[in-house]
Each structure stands twice: as C-alpha cells, then as structure tokens.
Amino acid sequence: MAAKQKKEKTKKKYTNKTGEMLSDYVRTNYEYTKENRRRQEEEGVKTEGLKNLNTMEKTCVVIIVLGLIGCLIRYVIL
C-alpha cells in the first residue's frame, strides 16, 4: 500500500495595504515638499515660522495641539 502524502499548508501572504498607501503618501509628500522648498529658496522666499507649512504639517500641528488639550482636560481638570 502506498502511503498518502500530506499536502503542506502554504501560509497566506499578509499584505498591509493601508500601511503601504500611507507610506507612499508620506514619501510622495516629502518629495513634493522638498522640491517646493528648493524652488522657494531659489526665488528668494524665506521659509520661516508657521506661515510656510504645507497642509500635512499644519494637520499634524493641529492634531498634536488637540491631543495636548485633551490630556490637559482629562488629567488636570477632571
């Protein structure tokens, strides 16, 4: 009698599509910002302070400020 050979289970390949999309977005945004700031420096525009932040940087600043306000309310006031 011939012995039955067991099929080896192949592991399902896990892909993190959301992580890939976010990393691609960040990488693209980084390159765009780098090119934009290089052009501004060539034109003589000074990039100082919060005025020249791009949309992603402004969003990050707003999220950080809201988080700090939330922590302040939760742990200090309540």
Three-class secondary structure assignment of the chain = CCCCCCCCCCCCCCCCHHHHHHHHHHHHHHHHHHHHHHHHHHHCCCCCCCCCCCHHHHHHHHHHHHHHHHHHHHHHHC
Give pLDDT tens digits for 10-63.
777 777 788 888 888 888 988 888 888 888 888 887 766 667 777 888 888 999
CA distance 62 to 69: 11
What pLDDT band is residue 3 in, cutting at 50, 70 and 90? low
